[in-house]
Amino acid sequence: MPSNSSPRRAAVIGSNRIPFGKAGGAYANATNLDMLGAALSGLVARFQLQGERMGDVAGGAVLKHSRDFNMTREAVLGSALSPQTPAFDVQRACGTSLETVTAIANKIALGQIDSGIAAGVDSTSDAPIVVSDRLRRTLIKLSRAKTLPDRLKLVASIRPGDLAPVAPDVAEPRTGLSMGEHQALTTLKWKITREAQDEIALASHKNLAQAYDDGLFDDLITPYRGLVRDESLRSDTSAEKLAKLKPVFGRGLGEGVATMTAGNSTPLSDGAATVLLGTDEWAAERGLPVLAHMVDAEAAAVDFVRGEEGLLMGGAYAVPRLLHRNKLVLADFDFIEIHEAFASTVLTTTAAWADEKFMVSKVGLPPLGKLNPAALNVAGSSLAAGHPFGATGARIVGTLASLLSRAKQSRPDGGPVRGLISVCAAGGQAVAMILEAA
Amino acid sequence: MSTRREQILPEVPSLTSLYGQAVARSARLMVRRPGPIVARLPEISYRVDDVRVDRAQLAAYQHLLGEAGTDTLPAGYVHVLGFPVAVAVMAREDFPLPLMGMVHVANQVQQRHPVHADDVLTVRAWAQNLRAHRSGTQVDLVTEVGQADGLDVLWRGVSSYLAKGKPLKGLALVESADGARPARADGRDADAPLPAVTASWRLGASTGRRYADVSGDRNPIHLSGLSAKLFGFKRAIAHGMYTASRALATVGPARPDAFVWDVEFLKPVLLPGQVAINLTPAEGATSYLGWDPRSQAVHFAGSVRPLP
């Protein structure tokens, strides 16, 4: 059943996140649970939810320690929400908290719950380090060994190499290539220039700094551990400074073709974000505003393993399908939020949307037309804010809902004000979403 | 007491050096008996301004005690911040009781307003209410923590200590006239059967060292069996405030922004060891009790209730 004919749409009532930190920075001592708890406590305080039994809370992290299997429920128990609030964990790589928003919004739309919180978090500073598979298997056998000789034999079988800790990395398990190396291939294929990428990066920093100065985040962020703004934000960066950086990805692809630098690639980050959702009635009963409604969402995945498509090109499939289903085109959107995994992800995705041959042959839908650059990431995105994997979707939903509400207020009779979100994710996936101002 | 003189200390003193001084003083007293000890408390209160939170220490504290990792200071962490100032009062030459021989018997904290990790704090501490007890002499150390720029006290702690032995001369015995025992801090009668186990703590041998790391309280009785034996304990004992603070963390966000957190320490928790815990909620308050599951002896009892 298409969601635009469903009986009710979930309302985005508000959001709260902590400023995003740089890996090893302000949140070096914070765990995923700490940050999720801090963002959640800020949301509870902002919307007076103390003692409230929410319908459900969905959260998740990408780099997650196995002891945190019930992370979101633990965060709820550590918050002032009613301890009778249930919670569950979700993981869809960088699309995690766009997926938690979808899950909570769907439950609301179906009438199963009338309020909920969607969240996401990630820490690269406190990443779970695991032991090698050989050591792990030996330790499991050791715990089951009954006799001393058996135990000694097992201990003796441990080799020095087994003791090396294994840290998670961002390489795709099936290709061994990092995300950056994958995107370097896509960048080259779509002939994206260094200048165009640096332009996206510069706009991200300028727009985010401007949004802070305009007070957009006053109601969206709770300072944490001394941080009041995103740690990666460089309001003083310039095209010249960005142009000086040396490429870090795609250096093996040929002389002079590497264009992706630390400046136009997202930094590793720590942070958490939350979104408060509910029915219009639930919000009205508590005197809370409704900023926007969740209209529809779509997930997509591509075959990057056999090189049929670029790893981070899922948005080129998810968005056209989502728009087609809702009978919308790019021109119908006032705001377009494309997660900046890399500046070039934004450029390859939008290039694909406009490319007739690609759209017809690969997606099977007509091209979406050219994107209005003035609608793109107007309050900055992941290049400037940072990208704690699990938190990015919720950051974008929170920011976009506020932007939509502000735009609607400035032209109350001007028809629908819509926003589009596209977030690419590991495993060749992507999640897209439409929000509409209330 | 208005006669109390205020003395400003340049910084929060180091507990380790205060303990060092106290041990040296005890040793001196063993060699050279002093004249009769005057049963009078020093008429002084210590004050330290510009006290700031070490965020790494706060995070380590929150992780160890199971508190949420927010920027609001757990009430037990505020105790950790102010405790050395109170110890400095007890370490004075004119303090009538020996610091190293005192037992923490009860603690009451009033958390009047939340304290934020960015707050610049002023800590005040003094001793009061010196009194005789049937097994020695008891004294209260009061610590108040407020924002540097305001007079309002955010947090007030009263720690009661007992110096075992013959009570100092000239002190009134503070006990009810009819000899009836006062109610235990969890509100239950001491003879009442133990309640159901709602949690179980397995405390490893390193529990004292781990709390010492996050609190700075390296009193030798908590660090190892050997160092505890020097002070007359069979094994290392858990910090009383570790057990009370962990109980507070278990009560968790059910506590309101302003609350009273009480604890009575009845029998030390020997390390390593297991503690049976009961939490019972009642009308906005939660009482807690910790006991030895084998001997059934109660280690501590307390409650967390809204500030009246």
pLDDT at B35: 60
Q: What is the pLDDT of residue A171?
A: 85
Provide the mean pLDDT of chain A.
94
Cis preceding linkage at B272, omega within 30: yes
Check whether A292 has a pLDDT greater than 90. Answer: yes
* Claim to verify: residue A356 and residue A384 sit in the same structural domain: yes
- Residue where a domain stops, chosen among B155, B175, B195: B175
Residue B168 reports pLDDT greater than 90: no
Q: Which residue among B55, B62, B69 places its CB closest to the CB of A226?
A: B55
Residue A255 in domain: no
More confident residue, A126 or A322: A322
pLDDT at B181: 60
For residue A385, what is the enclosing H or E element? helix A382-385
Question: Is A186 found in the same domain as A159?
Answer: no
| A388, part of any domain | yes
Q: How far is B57 from chain A (nearest CA, A)?
A: 9
The answer on B169 and B80 residing in a single domain is: yes
pLDDT for residue A128 is more than 90: no
A33:B69 CB<8 A: yes
Give the residue from chain A lying closest to B59, CA to CA. A29
pLDDT of residue A1: 41
Alpha-carbon gap, residue B191 to B184, rounded angstroms: 10
Domain holding A361: CATH number?
Answer: 3.40.47.10
Indicate the pTM of the whole model. Answer: 0.90
Q: What is the pLDDT of residue A285?
A: 97
Pair (B300, B159) in one structural domain: no
Contacts of B172 (CB under 8 A, 6+ apart): B131, B132
Mutation for B interface: A222, A225, A228, A274, most B CBs within 10 A? A225
Q: Do A334 and A358 fall within a single domain?
A: yes
Same-domain check for residues B145 and B273: no
Amino acid at A151: R
**Beta bridge pairs of residue B60:** none
Q: What is the reported pLDDT for A12?
A: 98
pLDDT given for residue B99 in this prediction: 87
Question: What are the residues of chain A with a beta carbon less than 8 Å away from any beta carbon of chain B?
Answer: 29-31, 33-35, 37-38, 41, 77-81, 83, 223-226
DSSP letter, residue A84? T
- The per-residue pLDDT for A7 is 58
pLDDT at B255 over 80: no
Q: Judge if B217 and B267 occupy the same domain.
A: yes
Tens-place pLDDT, residues A381-390: 999 999 999 9
The pLDDT > 70 percentage for chain A reads: 97
Asked whether residue A411 is assigned to any structural domain, the reply reads yes
B56 and A83: CB-CB below 8 Å?
no
Around Cβ A5, how many Cβ atoms within 10 Å? 6
Question: Do A300 and A159 sit in the same domain of this protein?
Answer: no
- Answer yes or no: do A155 and A304 share one domain: no
In a domain, A324, yes or no: yes
Give the pLDDT confidence score for residue A161 in this predicted structure.
Answer: 83
Task: Judge whether residue B275 has pLDDT over 80.
Answer: yes
Please report which confidence band the pLDDT of residue B1 belongs to, taking 50, 70 and 90 as the band edges: very low
Interchain pair B252, A226: CB under 8 A: no
Amino acid letter for position A272: A
The b-or-e profile of B107-131 (16+ CB within 10 A means b, else e) is bbbbbbbebebebebbbbbbbeebb
Instruction: Please say if the pLDDT value at position A407 is more than 80.
Output: yes
Same structural domain for residues A367 and A396? yes
| Shortest Cα–Cα distance, A53 to chain B (Å) | 13
Q: Tokens standing for B189?
A: 């009668």
Min CA distance, A163 vs chain B (Å)?
A: 24
> Which residue is listed with tokens 């949420």?
B68
Residues B139 and B14 in one domain: yes
**B6/B106 same-domain check:** yes
The confidence band for B32, taking pLDDT boundaries of 50, 70 and 90, is low
Please indicate, yes or no, whether residues B231 and B256 belong to a single structural domain of this protein: yes
Q: Is residue A243 part of a domain?
A: no
Task: Quote the pLDDT of residue B134.
Answer: 86
Q: What is the pLDDT of residue B184?
A: 87
Q: Across the A/B interface, how many CB contacts are shorter than 8 Å?
A: 47
For residues B46 and B125, state if they share a domain. Answer: yes
Q: Which of B52, B61, B70 would best serve as a mutation to test chain A binding (most A beta carbons within 10 A)?
A: B70
Domain identity same for B240 and B164 = no
**Out of A193-197, A220-224, B85-89, B170-174, least confident range:** B170-174
Residues of chain B in contact with residue A35, where contact means CB-CB under 8 angstroms, are: 69
What number of residues does chain A have?
438
Checking if the pLDDT of B142 tops 80, the result is yes
- Residue B254's pLDDT band, with cuts at 50, 70 and 90, is confident
User: In this predicted structure, what is the pLDDT of residue B175?
Assistant: 58
Asked, for residue A367, whether it belongs to a domain, the answer is: yes
Mean pLDDT of A270-298: 97
Task: Show the tokens assigned to B51.
Answer: 């006290």
Q: How many domains does chain A have?
A: 2
Residues B168 and B246 placed together within one structural domain of the fold:
no
Residue that finishes a domain, picked among B133, B153, B175: B175
Q: How far is A230 from chain B (nearest CA, A)?
A: 17
Separation CA B220–CA B153 (nearest Å): 32
Both A300 and A368 in one domain: the answer is: yes
The mean pLDDT value for B246-253 works out to 92
A425 assigned to some structural domain: yes
Give Cα separations from B110 to A287, B24, B76, B162, B285 (angstroms): 33, 34, 11, 21, 14
Q: Which domain holds residue B24?
A: 1-175
Is residue A98 scored above 80 in pLDDT?
A: yes
Question: Could you give the residue numbers annotated as active site of A?
Answer: 94, 387, 424
Chain B residues in contact with A123 by the CB 8 A cut-off are none
Q: Which of A149-153, A413-417, A432-436 has the highest mean pLDDT?
A: A432-436
**Which range is least confidently modeled, A391-405, B142-156, B207-221, B293-307?**
B142-156
Instruction: Collect contacts of B17-24 with beta carbons under 8 A, ≥24 apart.
Output: B18/B84, B18/B87, B18/B88, B18/B91, B18/B99, B19/B87, B19/B99, B19/B100, B19/B218, B19/B219, B19/B220, B21/B91, B22/B90, B22/B91, B22/B98, B22/B99, B22/B100, B23/B100
Provide the pLDDT for residue A199. 97
Please list, in sequence order, all residues whose beta carbon lies within 8 angstroms of the beta carbon of residue A121, skipping any fewer than 6 positions away. Answer: A32, A35, A36, A39, A59, A60, A61, A71, A271, A272, A273, A388, A390, A391
Residue A303 placed within a domain: yes
Q: Which domain holds residue A341?
A: 179-214+295-437
- Residues A143 and A200 both lie in one domain: no
Name the packing angle between helices A315-325 and A343-354 (round to 10°).
50
pLDDT for A384 equals 98
Domain of B56, CATH number, reads 3.10.129.10
Q: Please judge whether B59 and A30 are an interchain contact, meaning their C-beta atoms are less than 8 angstroms apart.
A: yes
Q: How many domains does chain B have?
A: 2
**B42 and B61 together in one domain:** yes
Distance CA B136, CA A312 (A): 74
Mean pLDDT, chain B, whole residue set: 90
Residues A198, A154 share a domain: no
Amino acid, res. B81: L
DSSP string, A256-323: T---EESSSBPPBEEEEEEEEEE-HHHHHHTT----EEEEEEEEEE--TTTTSS-TT-THHHHHHHHH
**CB atoms inside a 10 Å sphere around CB A169:** 11
Which of B63, B70, B118 has its CB closest to that of A41? Answer: B70
- Same domain for B8 and B84, yes or no, is yes
Task: Provide the ipTM.
Answer: 0.84
Residue after which a domain boundary falls, among B158, B175, B192: B175
pLDDT at A2: 45
Q: Is 70 exceeded by the pLDDT of residue A313?
A: yes
pLDDT at A226 over 80: yes
Instruction: State whether A333 and A396 are in the same domain.
Output: yes
